[in-house]
Amino acid sequence: MTQILKRAAFIIALVSVTAVAGVNAASSGGIAAARSKLTIIAPAAPGGGFDSFSRELQNIMKSNAISNNVQVVNIPGAGGTIGLSKFLTMTDREDLLMTTGSAMVGAISLAGKDENPMLQTVPVAMLSTDYSSISVPADSPFQTLADFIAAFTANPKGTSIAGGSLGSIGHLMMAEIAIASGLSAKDLNYIAYPGGGRALNAMLSKTTDVLVSNVTDIRDQVEAGNLRILAVSSAKRLSQVDAPTLTEQGVPVVMSNWRGLLAPPGTSETTRAELLKMIEESLKTEQWQSALSRYEWDETFLSGTAFEEFLAKEFERVGTLVRALGI
């Protein structure tokens, strides 16, 4: 009888140890999965900003053994909102991240959403920002931002502005400039183009008066002497271009094109912490510093509660501008 009781006790203890081990394995399964295989969703077509950002991280994580196998999956469409809608269904995936950014916030606002679906995910971190510029042809009569503002204020509809899609960062920036100048954002003569190259060509061919674009997109034209930058949208002057900010010229507008990473809904705090650790390891590499220089990104790191609060404020700000534009 004693032997039977001892054997029963042994079996119970063995089952208990196995159960605990199973729980621990499950709780750390996401960590192991992310380190062995990670998928980054780029909610855009190959070649775009979301895609470039995702593939830079892919290369950094692979080459530095931060994760053994990193894949980028493109889900293009509607400013990233198609990718986001699919991502929201990918619960219980602890080997998954999605690139996000300001373009997605604009697309969500354009869709008329009252709540920010990005906050249904588990925000991990913001990593970088870049900025927009207002530029003109080298022979433009607008020598300064004040010249442009004066013409714009006198005749808003007669001052044409080439830029990206409706609701893009450039469009939103021009809306804020209009409001800061005492005008209605609806008075903007904003001509949207499907790509930065076409918007640039429209201005260079004198079809439009000014161009609002990412600073990186026009760097070559500025260096070649074909364009002049009247202002940039950063809080402080950028090291890569010799141009004043909007703010220092009396227009208190700062607008950044930021990018970051989200984890799926339901991601545990333990897994989020490990994903964040992987990101932080990536930011310490020489390859990341090279990417910052190559794309002229500023490293702007936010995580945890600070990133969540930023997303909430950004959604409110962009929604206000979209409503002011009437789009």
CATH number, residue 221: 3.40.190.10
Res 324: pLDDT:
95
Given a cut of 50, is residue 212 above it in pLDDT? yes
Identify the residue whose tokens are 């990104």: 297
DSSP 251: -
**217 and 170 together in one domain:** yes
State how far the Cα of 126 lies from the Cα of 233, in Å rounded to an integer: 19
Count CA atoms within 13 Å of residue 41 on its CB side: 24
Question: Per-residue pLDDT averaged across 154-182, rounded?
Answer: 92
**155 and 239 together in one domain:** yes
Rounded percentage of the chain residues whose pLDDT exceeds 70: 90
Res 247: pLDDT:
96
Given a cut of 60, is residue 118 above it in pLDDT? yes
Question: Which residues constitute the domain of residue 118?
Answer: 30-129+257-325
* Domain termination site, one of 208, 233, 249: 249
**155 and 83 together in one domain:** no
**267 and 226 together in one domain:** no
Highest mean predicted confidence (pLDDT) among 9-18, 25-34, 87-96 = 87-96
Q: Tell me if 13 is assigned to some domain.
A: no
Q: Tell me if 170 is assigned to some domain.
A: yes
Question: Per-residue pLDDT averaged across 224-247, rounded?
Answer: 93
Give φ, ψ of 9 to 5 degrees. -65, -40
Res 34: pLDDT:
86
Q: Which two tokens stand for residue 266?
A: 């339901």
Predicted confidence band of residue 114 (pLDDT cuts 50, 70, 90): confident
**279 and 292 together in one domain:** yes
Res 327: pLDDT:
87
Q: Which amino acid is at 144?
A: T
Are residues 115 and 147 in contact, defined by beta-carbon separation less than 8 angstroms? no
Q: Tell me if 186 is assigned to some domain.
A: yes
The least confident of 60-64, 87-91, 119-123, 237-241 is 237-241
Highest mean predicted confidence (pLDDT) among 9-13, 83-87, 294-298 = 83-87
State how far the Cα of 107 lies from the Cα of 172, in Å rounded to an integer: 12
Q: Tell me if 3 is assigned to some domain.
A: no
**194 and 167 together in one domain:** yes
Q: Tell me if 219 is assigned to some domain.
A: yes
Query: Count of domains in the chain?
Result: 2
Backbone dihedral region for residue 156 (phi beyond 0: left; psi -120 to 50: alpha; all else: beta): alpha
Q: Tell me if 59 is assigned to some domain.
A: yes
Q: Which amino acid is at 211?
A: L
**245 and 146 together in one domain:** yes
**240 and 147 together in one domain:** yes
Looking at per-residue pLDDT, the higher value among 46 and 18 belongs to 46
State how far the Cα of 2 lies from the Cα of 44, in Å rounded to an integer: 68
* Domain termination site, one of 249, 283, 317: 249
**242 and 171 together in one domain:** yes
Q: Tell me if 213 is assigned to some domain.
A: yes
pTM as predicted: 0.84
* Domain termination site, one of 249, 284, 301: 249
Q: Which two tokens stand for residue 109?
A: 């606002």
Among candidates 167, 118, 174, 110, which has minimal Cα distance to 145? 174
Strand blocks (E) in 89-188: 96-101, 122-137, 160-163
CATH number, domain of 53, equals 3.40.190.150
Res 47: pLDDT:
85
Q: How much is the CA Rg of the chain, to the nearest whole Å?
A: 24
Q: What is the pLDDT of residues 21-59, one digit of tens each?
A: 332 333 345 566 889 899 999 999 998 889 999 999 999
**199 and 135 together in one domain:** yes
Q: Tell me if 94 is assigned to some domain.
A: yes
Q: Is 161 exposed, middle or buried (0-12, 13-18, 19+ CB in 10 A)?
A: buried
Predicted confidence band of residue 196 (pLDDT cuts 50, 70, 90): confident
Predicted confidence band of residue 11 (pLDDT cuts 50, 70, 90): very low
**262 and 115 together in one domain:** yes
Report the chain's mean pLDDT, rounded to a whole number.
Answer: 88
Count CA atoms within 13 Å of residue 85 on its CB side: 11
**81 and 230 together in one domain:** no
State how far the Cα of 157 lies from the Cα of 152, in Å rounded to an integer: 8
